[in-house]
Amino acid sequence: MPVIKSWQDKAAIEKIVNRCSVDEMVDETVSKVVKDVRLNGNRAVLKYTRKFDKVSLETSRLRVSRKEIKEAFRKMDKELVQLIDSVRKNIVKFHKRELRKSWTSTKEGLTLGQSYQPLKRVGVYVPGGTAPLLSSLLMTVVPARVAGVRDIVMTSPPGKEGDIHPYLLAAAHLLQVDEVYRIGGAQAVAALALGTETISPVDKVIGPGNRYVVSAMRQVFGRVGVGVLPGPSEVVILADGGAKASFVIADLKAQAEHEKGLAVLLTTSMKLAGKVAEEVKGSYIIVTKSKEEAVRIINRIAPEHLEIMVKNPRGVINKVTGSGTIFLGPYTPTAVGDYVAGPSHVLPTGGTARFSSGLSVDDFRRRSNVISYNREQLKKVIKPVARLAEIEGMQAHADSVKIRISRR
């Protein structure tokens, strides 16, 4: 892989910075799917399951029965059950720290506060395909449970035989998922958002997925809430001359397992860059004149995952203004965040980490502000309220305050 020198090839860096996962052709296809599901419910869902997943289902098989789910759990290797539960505990421990309590403050007849409530019903999309993505199930369902969501609904694409992988079903049982449906793709997102004869609509749709799934989430937003919109996976590594080349190479190769993923090494060391270039294909290797320049480029890329393998990695944190998760030091590969550390691995991609954050309990809760004035407190604000309302041409707003003071 050729080494890019930042001072010579700015165009290559701009290509990375300006990457975009939006595809107009995909959006057009998805728009038709969403509209069809809205108009035809189950019939459309089954049609697109045949078309895209090559699986023919009857309406009665859309929902996975509790008997099937329990049977999958019964047959699951007990050692794997314990492993999943240990990861669940890590995720619970981390996300409990995020919970904010409702609060009120009252003084002399004026009360202000905020009330937090969990969403009632959330749809979780779990990618299927060739392998059961247990980690994605854990990293979405567990924060929802911590947040107190009442009903968690899971969808996942069926395999060739029309079944969801038994590991996913067993994990769904362990995590107390309320409903499971064997559908995937844009039609699953549309069904969750809009509802069908079989599936009741949810308040929010969460989860990673391919570009069709992400497009569907964008298109149903407003009808329901959506969480992070993760596109192709990304890792950027910041390393100095003291970093072990074998660690950097291993992490870039790990990233290559993600289809259409982004892998970038930024370093001040030509020696390290040369070693990595000999071993790794499909990654960008950028040499900068200083660590500060490298950080500036990282902030423009705003990657999903950022690994920092430099002397005093903690000193870099406050300089990073855009990254989903930051991994500090040589013994913290992205893989530990993907599977066991605790924070959800559902993270912003495509540069959206500049203005958004990874999945948290806040994605599963809503907040209401609380305001209460007595008559004396209202008298104190009548002039500014009335004046601002009148400037905006809202005389009735001004009158609604004045009447409470002029009449008892």
Query: Which residue numbers are catalytic?
Result: 304-305
Give the integer Cα–Cα distance in Å for 169 and 159.
Answer: 13
Q: Which residue has the tokens 């998760």?
A: 325
Taking the mean position of all CA atoms in its chain, how far away is CA 206? 7
At a CB cut-off of 8 Å and minimum separation 6, what does 45 contact?
A: 37, 62, 183, 187, 188, 190, 191, 196
List b or e across 148-183, with b for residues whose CB sees 16 or more CB atoms inside 10 angstroms. Answer: ebebbbbbbbbbeeebbbbbbbbbbbbbebebbbbb
For the chain, the farthest-separated pair of C-alpha atoms sits apart, in whole angstroms, at: 84
Environment class of residue 230 by beta-carbon count within 10 Å: exposed (0-12), middle (13-18) or buried (19+)? buried
Give the integer Cα–Cα distance in Å for 225 and 93.
Answer: 26
Sequential DSSP letters for 64-90: PPHHHHHHHHHHS-HHHHHHHHHHHHH
Which pair of tokens denotes residue 155?
């969808």
Q: Is residue 241 within a helix (H) or strand (E), and if so which, with residue range?
A: none
Q: Is 287 helix (H, G, I), strand (E, B) or coil?
A: strand
Give the integer Cα–Cα distance in Å for 278 and 275.
Answer: 5
| Helices (H), ranges, 23-131 | 24-40, 42-53, 66-75, 78-96
3-5 and 325-328 strand pairing: unpaired
Residue in 217, 248, 226 with CA at minimum distance from that of residue 235: 248
User: What phi and psi values does residue 348 have, to the nearest 5 degrees?
Assistant: -70, 145
Start-to-end CA distance of the chain, whole Å, equals 80
